[in-house]
Structure 1
Amino acid sequence: MIGWLVFFFGIFLAMLGYASYRSYRKNRTSDDFIFAGSNIGTILGFLTFSAALFSAFTFMGMPDFFRTHGVGAWIFLALSDALMVFFLIWFGYALRKRATIKGYKGVAGLIKSCYENSFAGYLVFASAFLFLIPYVSIQIRGISIFLDAAFPDMLPYWSWSAVLVFIMLIYSEIGGLKAIVYSDAIQGVIMLAVIWIIGLTCLSLAGGLEDGIAKVSASNQDLLSLPGPNGLFSSPFLIASAIAIVLIPVSQPQFTTRLVVMKSLKSVHRMAYAVGIFAILVILPTAFIGLYGAIEYPDANTADFLSQALLFDQAVPVAALAVVGLFAACLSTTNAQIFALGTELRSLLNGTDQANMRITKLSILAFSLIVLVFSTYMSDELVLLARVSFAGTSMIAPVVLGAVIFSQPPKALIGLSTVALIFFILSILGIVPDNYFGYPLDFLMYIILFVFTTIIMVSHKKKPKTTT
């Protein structure tokens, strides 16, 4: 096992090193470092978008989600991702059009410029910071759970997280976004290949799809229907989840920026279709792994189930590939989101290019250390924690959509997004209830946000245009 790990990790790290070397330029500007020359093609574009979207929480969280909550997990993620693809086509066009007019340094900077209001920019940055830090920590927590369970005596628990963050910092600081895009492409291919190998193996061990479903039906019929054995997949939960996932390109800057740096609108559209296909391909084998877990390990905790299904029940080379695949998946999402936080901070700065570059690199280091500390306090509910992150960032969607749709967006959207974000944070802290009249808070808040955003936008559209 150790020999295979050294072999596969050696190849993976060599590929990362080559990507960093290819991406490095001595006399580059901060725009080159942050936006990779804004010349990303379709193939690299869809791989970097997909790798940032489907990460450790997909590789480990979704099998455990299927095992624990049943087939509704497919509706939760796969159907929502399909809806997001259609939204991407419109949003990519509108965003790129606005970015061409206003210039693009980052989402926060764009919002600040469109509203001519600094608070609007800081609101977007605050939302990203508050909810991406926990989301990145989920990825690190997930890989640490797996590696610590698989190799309990090799390294202290925190060392796995530290190694991952250190590698991410090295090549992102050297190569910038271009190095991250290349590493995403590497990770996307590795993750898709490994998860299918493991998924098909688990399906075979379960006796095939038909026999596997029959065994699950005999042991826990509720896993095969909604709302699932724990009652999680209610209609409000699934609708709210779908909205939060569809709005990811609007509210999470690592995805918004990737739409802008594509070389053309045609590339964006092709990328969107490819992401939809990738979503189905990457989620389907996680259902097979979850099906196997529901049969063989129905009462195991998360760490034991993952270590058994992804490692000990696999052939040795496949188990070694699984470790590398998981590490790569976690690394890709971690660097994409931490780098995005640095980009957002930089978009609000007014200093010289050299000073902005220095502050951006220091901020990436600071965010990485915060994530490293925060990851030790996360729970094992990877998918549900990811959903909270999606929902939290989506609270500022009205202010972003207003900036993209209108040349002079209504400032009332700033107040609406601020109130929504604060109220959602208060619910997480337990200061206000997270359930009203039997409905989850985020479901009700989406209804309220939709109504008020529509009223504000329609009223603004009817106002006579002002000229300067």
Structure 2
Amino acid sequence: MIGWLVFFFSLFIAMLGYASYRSYSKERTSDDFIFAGSNIGTILGFLTFSAALFSAFTFMGMPDFFRTHGVGAWIFLALSDALMVFFLIWFGFALRKRASINGYKGVAGLMKSCYGNSFAGYLVFASAFLFLIPYVAIQIRGISIFLDAAFPDMLPYWSWSALLVFIMLIYSEIGGLKAIVYSDAIQGVIMLTVIWIIGVTCLQMSGGLEAGLEKVSATNPDLLTLPGPKGLFTSPFLIASAIAIILIPVSQPQFTTRLVVMKNLKSVHRMAYAVGIFAMLVILPTAFIGLYGAIKYPDASTADFLTNALLFDQAVPVAALAVVGLFAACLSTTNAQIFALGTELRSLLSGSDKTNMRITKISIMVFSLIVLVFSTYMSDELVLLARVSFTGTSMIAPVVLGAVIFTKPPKSLIVLSTLALATFIASLLEIVPGKIAGQPIDYLMYGVLFIATAVIMITHSQTQKKQHATQS
């Protein structure tokens, strides 16, 4: 086992080193460092987008989610991701058009420019910081749980997290976004390959799909129906989850920036279709692993189930490759999100290029240390914690959509997004009830946000038309 681990890790680290080497340039500007020359093609674009989107929470969280909550997990993620692809096509076009007019340094900087209001930029940055830091910590927590359970006497628990953060910092500091894009491509291919090998193996050990479903039906039939054995997959939960996932490209800057740095609009559209296919391919085998867990490890803890299903029940080379695949999946998301936070901070700065570059690099290091600390306090509910992150960042979607749609967006959208973000945070802190009239607060808030945003935008559009008519 150790020999295979050394072999696969050496190969993986060598590929990351080569990606960093290819990306490094002494003459680069801060724009080259942050935006990779804004010349990303379709293949690299869809691999970096997919690797950032599907991470340790997919590799580890989704099998456990299927095992615990049943087939509704497919509706929760796969169908929501499919809907997101259709939204990407329109949003990519509108965003790139606005970025070409106002310039693009980051989502926060774009909001500051479009609204002529610094608070709009700080609102976007605050949302990203508050919810991406915990989300990154989830990834590190997940891989640390797995590695610590798999190799209990090799390293202290915190060492696995520190090692991952250290590797991420090295190549992102050297190569910037271009190095991250190359590494994402490597990690995306590794993750997809490994998860299918393990998924097919788990399906075979379950006796095949039909036999496996019959075993689950005999022991826990609620896993095959909605809302699931724990009643999680209610209509409000699924609708709110779908909205949060669809809005990821709007509200999470690591994805928004990837749409802007693509070579052209045609590449964006091709990337969107490829991401949809990748989503189906990467989520399907997690259902097979979850099915296997529901049959063989129905009452096991998350750590015990994952270490057995992904490691001890696999052939030695596959188990070693699984460790590398999990490490790669975690790394691809953590580097994308930490780097995005540095980008957003940089977009709000007004100093010289050299000063901005230095501050950006220092901020990436600081954010990484904060994540490292947070990862020791996160729970094991990886998927549900990820959903909180999606929902939290989506609260500022109205302000971003307003900036993308209108040349002079209504500033009332800033107020609306601020109130929505504050209310959601208050609900997490239990200052505001998590349910009102028996309905989850995020579900109710999306209804209010949809109506309020529509009213504001329609009113603003009509006002602009009247002004144009008067002027002409």
Fold shared, TM-score > 0.5 on shorter chain: yes
State yes or no: 1:4 paired with 2:10.
no
State yes or no: 1:323 paired with 2:323.
yes
Aligned ranges 1:317-396 → 2 under 5 Å: 317-396=317-396
The residue identity in structure 1 corresponding to 2:440 is P
Per-residue Cα deviation, 1:37-82 (whole angstroms, up to 9, x for no partner):
0000000000000000000000000000000000000000000000
TM-score (norm 2): 0.99
Aligned ranges 1:219-234 → 2 under 5 Å: 219-234=219-234
The residue identity in structure 1 corresponding to 2:14 is A
Give 1:188's aligned residue. 188
Looking at structure 2, the residues matched to 437 and 187 of structure 1 have their Cα atoms a distance apart, in angstroms, of: 44
Moved beyond 6 Å, runs of 4+: none
Give 1:85's aligned residue. 85
Give 1:304's aligned residue. 304
State yes or no: 1:213 paired with 2:218.
no
Aligned ranges 1:138-149 → 2 under 5 Å: 138-149=138-149
Looking at structure 2, the residues matched to 435 and 58 of structure 1 have their Cα atoms a distance apart, in angstroms, of: 27
How much does 1:296 deviate? 0.2
Looking at structure 1, the residues matched to 431 and 75 of structure 2 have their Cα atoms a distance apart, in angstroms, of: 31
Per-residue Cα deviation, 1:139-193 (whole angstroms, up to 9, x for no partner):
0000000000000000000000000000000000000000000000000000000
SS of equivalent to 1:377: coil
Looking at structure 2, the residues matched to 42 and 129 of structure 1 have their Cα atoms a distance apart, in angstroms, of: 29
How much does 1:27 deviate? 1.2
Aligned ranges 1:22-61 → 2 under 5 Å: 22-61=22-61
Looking at structure 1, the residues matched to 158 and 379 of structure 2 have their Cα atoms a distance apart, in angstroms, of: 15
Percent of aligned pairs sharing the same letter: 85
How much does 1:464 deviate? 3.4
Per-residue Cα deviation, 1:92-138 (whole angstroms, up to 9, x for no partner):
00000000000000000000000000000000000000000000000
Aligned ranges 1:173-322 → 2 under 5 Å: 173-322=173-322
Aligned ranges 1:442-461 → 2 under 5 Å: 442-461=442-461
Structure 1 residues 352 and 225: alpha-carbon distance in aligned structure 2, compared to 1, 3 A threshold: same
Aligned ranges 1:68-217 → 2 under 5 Å: 68-217=68-217
SS of equivalent to 1:463: helix
Looking at structure 2, the residues matched to 28 and 103 of structure 1 have their Cα atoms a distance apart, in angstroms, of: 19
The residue identity in structure 1 corresponding to 2:362 is L
Per-residue Cα deviation, 1:316-348 (whole angstroms, up to 9, x for no partner):
000000000000000000000000000000000
Looking at structure 2, the residues matched to 429 and 96 of structure 1 have their Cα atoms a distance apart, in angstroms, of: 37
The residue identity in structure 1 corresponding to 2:4 is W
The residue identity in structure 2 corresponding to 1:251 is S
SS of equivalent to 1:408: coil
TM-score (norm 1): 0.99
Per-residue Cα deviation, 1:407-443 (whole angstroms, up to 9, x for no partner):
0000000000000000000000111111111111100
Looking at structure 1, the residues matched to 438 and 283 of structure 2 have their Cα atoms a distance apart, in angstroms, of: 30
Aligned ranges 1:360-439 → 2 under 5 Å: 360-439=360-439
Looking at structure 1, the residues matched to 464 and 8 of structure 2 have their Cα atoms a distance apart, in angstroms, of: 63
Looking at structure 1, the residues matched to 455 and 434 of structure 2 have their Cα atoms a distance apart, in angstroms, of: 25
The residue identity in structure 2 corresponding to 1:120 is A
How much does 1:451 deviate? 0.4
Looking at structure 2, the residues matched to 102 and 187 of structure 1 have their Cα atoms a distance apart, in angstroms, of: 34
SS of equivalent to 1:449: helix
